[in-house]
A and B are shown apart, each in its own frame.
Chain A
């Protein structure tokens, strides 16, 4: 008797024993944001239950791919527009009608919603530089204004950046720099900044977190990380460099979800007045897509519709999607996995620079070229064969091994180049 009662109580207390419509949201957004939306949504629609699935963008894409239709999460909500392109081309998204008529079609020259209607912009984000005021003061560092500033020798070991393979927002930052500065010059800048970095963090959160608690001096972050930290009282500042793009963070309905109606409801909610106002919360600090919401924002809140954010780069998301895998692999092989060697080479070059006091020196120039140029050149990145190789199915053994060979080639060349550069730089007197 007691046992039976116990079992019954236990069964009722078990999670999942619910009678309501369950909407599963797969997102890379932090807990503050998801908790706020969950509370507000469940208050508005008491019949629904919101489930949050927290995964970084790449893991999220893999997860959606692996679930059979009928078992997939309802909503995919992330910052990176190319993640949505990847899902759309794999036919994993479903068109959603409706939305909010008051949301404009474009921000600057960039479309907010997918022209095919497969995903909708829910918030806007720019990429910028965040720094810890105490760290900068203690280490007497000049305050940066542009990405190019972070490539300077004075910032060596004070910068932090994440990797595009782990962070959709870092990938966007990397693509923004590559599109803004051009392939070769962009890689040179990225390699210098990475060489100046103290760490390549595992998730994008590692950068603002490290800057906020004083571990790093400067970090490349998406705007809301910097703004939210500042508004939470941390001693940090955030600015948008001119070489930035404002792109939408999107929300989409996954094809083959269990409760698509619930998913649609949630998407509608996020685009509504109430859903957009939630973004203004201090610990969230995102930029709404609904222009009217900015009237409720505190003074000094960045407004991409008012022209106060200078965004020089016209982000081409098709280009970004086409070369996504190659860019990600290049970054990992040259930078993420070789970080110690890259940092050592960068240090050697900066030291040699200082010793030579700006005089030209052929071996030093060669060292610079060895370290700060990518193994894939401008014309090669447009090569369809290379792009196709990296996009191939993992199960294809030959393609897999070929890809691994190419990556291995980059890796070993990079390692050799960095070592050689250290020799050359140290010999420069």
Chain B
């Protein structure tokens, strides 16, 4: 819904220019410069000149080649497995009258509320060599499934965690296919599987590609899960290990970062290009879609069976973490034998600082995000400032930045930077707020832009007519009307930052500064700590779950409001 130029204020006052410059400066300092530093270091030699020697050295080390191959393999296979999980579910929701639709929606959200690395530890106990499943299988059939061995374990955990991206995108895509297309195909005699493969799926491809590329990037860049599962021959863990054990000067670590960034940009760019070229979005966006068919009893059984199976798998990390948090001894048995609440007591006693830290960092970061997001949205959509689109593009760059790269970038760029009152920046709490805010900004910006797009400019014009200055209008009219979107953006930022581990592992310098995610990682490093770590994990999951539910409620509550301001 494009705004006609006549509706935007043509004069951009000094205030707006100053604001835009400040926004650009922030993004420059905390996004472009650190990433640029990392990229430059990969191409610089000891004297500061340009060199490709580090890339050559990288290619010569067989471990690096192997890690590269493994990362590609794991990311690709995860996309494949996630597709296998998600496609039937999406198809069932979109094409059939199905009373279990709520179940599928829940399936789409459950995995995302638990950070992958938290579940990984519990999955070892359920699906590992001597885990519950293999003990039962061993007793019954004498077989053992190497579900958690090496790369397979990483693929397993990541698939269960990320398949909702494909599910949600595909479901939305399927729902918005022009029914006339399908009817035309049916008129020509196509039906069932052939119809799906030849007509429906290709039309839904943009949504699928968007989801699949997102999954690919996230798995390719993931640091936490491989570390917890003891898999180090992948790119992200290698970069982390090299930078921490060999040092911040190690050039190979930077080469890996450049590769991660390139692939992220390529995957995102490729998906965007693909979607642009083959945009089969329908014209009639009024919610009309193909009529849903009824399921035959046999089909119903299959559908429910598949959903229940996927649901059990998806719930296993949650169940595992819960059991682990309550167990005293769980060794070589199907279920823990002695239960205790002592771990929760330990956590409340020792880890309250960490919980507070999470609230502090994520809260401040989310606040920063919505302020920046609102500001950028306003500049881009309501002013005629030349070059304002650049702000939008800069923020999009943040979407493609792996947390690992940004973390290393901060450590290198701000090494030695000291602030008054706070001390060294990279060893302070402030760096967390900045790091979380920068990487969550794209989500917040999207929410703010969507919210602002729903507000008709005539409301602002009315305020101007009544004598309000621009800033007064923003404060009293625009922001309150945007509140739903802002709140949703806030909660999304908060919730995704709470589960963040890649940047956190790199930036945590002291235990007292650690947020919950790092705390969980730290607890999982000792035998007596597995229980409290799981307890902290359960608390984190509850926190994120409540936050997600709140944001859905807020968005739902504000939806009718926006329609009032929409153009006729």
Contact = CB atoms under 8 A, between A and B. Distances in A.
Given A30-B529, A62-B244, A394-B246, A16 B522 contact: no
Contacts of A419: none
A429 interface: no
18 contacts: A15-B512, A16-B429, A51-B512, A53-B509, A53-B511, A58-B245, A62-B246, A66-B248, A134-B331, A134-B332, A135-B332, A202-B232, A212-B527, A214-B130, A215-B128, A215-B131, A394-B246, A405-B60
B251 to A, nearest CB: 8
A394 B331 contact: no
A141 to B, nearest CB: 13
B250 A206 contact: no
Given A135-B130, A166-B245, A411 B63 contact: yes
B449 to A, nearest CB: 27
Interface stretch (A116-124, A311-319, A395-403): A395-403
Interface of A: 13-16, 24, 30-32, 34-35, 51-56, 58-59, 62-63, 65-66, 68, 71, 132, 134-135, 138, 165-166, 198-199, 201-203, 205-206, 208-209, 212-216, 225, 228-229, 232-236, 283, 337, 340, 394-395, 397, 400-401, 404-405, 407-408, 411-412, 415
Contacts of A401: 53, 57
Interface stretch (B107-115, B416-424, B452-460): B416-424
A229 B46 CA distance: 48
Given A135-B130, A232-B527, A394 B510 contact: no
Contacts of A58: 244-245
Contacts of B331: 132, 134, 212-214, 234-236
Given A30-B528, A62-B246, 6 more contacts: A14-B360, A15-B512, A53-B511, A214-B130, A214-B331, A394-B249
Contact of A35 (B45, B332, B350): B350
Contacts of A53: 509-511
A34 to B, nearest CB: 8
B525 A59 contact: no
B398 to A, nearest CB: 25
Interface residues of B, number: 63
Given A213-B125, A232-B528, A283-B528, A16 B332 contact: no
A411 B128 CA distance: 29
A209 B237 CA distance: 20
Given A16-B429, A213-B124, A213-B125, A68 B416 contact: yes
Closest 7 CB pairs of A and B: A214-B332, A30-B526, A214-B130, A58-B245, A134-B332, A52-B511, A59-B244
Interface string B214-243: 000000000000010011110001000100
B330 interface: yes
Contacts of B62: 337, 408, 411-412, 415
B332 A138 contact: yes
B231 to A, nearest CB: 8
Nearest to A204: B525
Contacts of A59: 244-245
B439 interface: no
A16 B511 contact: no
B129 interface: yes
A48 to B, nearest CB: 13
Contacts of B525: 30-31, 54, 203, 205
B527 A209 contact: yes
A206 B230 contact: yes
A165 B245 CA distance: 8
Contacts of B248: 66
B523 interface: yes
B114 to A, nearest CB: 20
A394 B529 contact: no
Given A31-B523, A411-B62, A52 B328 contact: no
Nearest to A160: B230
B46 A397 contact: yes
B227 A202 contact: yes
Given A32-B528, A233-B328, A233-B329, A52 B130 contact: no
B184 interface: no
Interface in B498-551: 509-513, 522-523, 525-530
Nearest to A217: B130
Interface string B85-125: 00000000000000000000000000000000000000011
B247 interface: yes
Contacts of B130: 135, 213-215
Contact of B528 (A166, A198, A228, A411): A228
B357 interface: yes
A166 B232 CA distance: 11
Contacts of A407: 61
